[in-house]
Amino acid sequence: MIDLRSDTVTRPTAAMLDAMFRAPVGDDVYEEDPTVRALEHEAASRFGLEAGLFCPSGTMTNQIAIKGHTEPLSEVVCEQTSHIYLWEVGGIAFHSGASVALLPGDRGRLTAAQVAAAIRSENVHYPTTSLISLENTHNRGGGSCYDWAALTDIAELAKRQGIPLHLDGARVFNALVATGQQSREYGRLFDTISVCLSKGLGTPVGSVLLGSQAFIKKCKRIRKVMGGGWRQAGYLAAAGLYALEHHVERLADDHRRARQLAEALQAAPYVDFVLPAETNLVIFRLRDGLTEEAFLTHLTNNGIKASAFGPQMVRFVTHLDVDDEAIGRVLAALQTVPQ
């Protein structure tokens, strides 16, 4: 099967597995795993931040960061289709007891003016604005990317207001490769960054939360109470180190293949519209008369998996396990969709 459901379905490459098997390890609860330490240091230094915290998932790194930045009776400003709000099981309310100010974005992207208007004034009736969170790339926006000016404007606003700025960077390396932005510059803008290693970078599991030394020390305690104490986690961290070294630049291939799919879909008579394919996500709406269930069944019959993304909506995700030959098979299947 050609699996286009997500970039989380990848298997470790032979070279990545070899790096994992050879990793020196120790008990990370005692802070004695050298490979975990190496991963945390490498990830933090790439983004110009002081420290990192290795965790099982991006949901955990996001929720730890939110807990660390907020308190009950406070509020998080984010876009209304943000992963931290839609796809993390109400974790902001459950873990942090915080409210959420939801803003409508342009394919998930906010402006500084929108954020400024959402910041609460001092009033006993209001929660306190305690965190601004952005998502780059934005999943529901079809892998959309912020331009540098927009990021800078929001970061400058956050600093003027004394409000921390968090980045859900589940696919931040896709954004960096697509835009040419520099990872180290992100440390000037964001107080904390969640970096996922198991999406486009192809590791089996893991995300890293990045921030200052003091904040990461605080977050380690939060990770513990969430059940996130590791033991010999270096075997997993080694996959992350390998991916940072070998799997970042190749994301451009995923983006190229996504554009091929998007172009074919734009020309297909059964497609209503396709969101711009800036990175590795292709989200499109089928015309009335062809349901997403019927379309996905056709794909399955041709050895292809994809995801329904709402009524009449479908998502394709390219990744390192989908090569040019596989894309060719998908393109052929798109030519034979029953009308």
Average pLDDT over residues 5-13: 97
Residue 70 has pLDDT above 90, yes or no: yes
pLDDT above 90 as % of the chain: 99
Q: DSSP of 182-215, one letter per residue?
A: -HHHHHHH-SEEEEESSSTT--SS-EEEEE-HHH
339: confidence class by pLDDT, cuts 50, 70, 90: confident
Tokens for 154, please give them: 């929001």
Residue pLDDT, tens place only, 242-281: 999 999 999 999 999 999 999 999 999 999 999 999 999 9
Residue 93 pLDDT exceeds 80: yes
Written as six digits, the tokens of 321 are 């396990």
pLDDT at 338 (0 to 100): 87
pTM over 0.75: yes
Q: What is the per-residue pLDDT for 7?
A: 98
Distance of CA 190 to the CA centre of its chain: 15
Mean pLDDT of the region 201-229: 97
Torsion of CA 36, 228, 201, 24, to 10 degrees: 20
Average pLDDT, rounded, for the chain:
98
Quick check: 101 pLDDT over 90? yes
Per the CB < 8 A criterion, the answer to whether 88 and 59 are in contact is yes
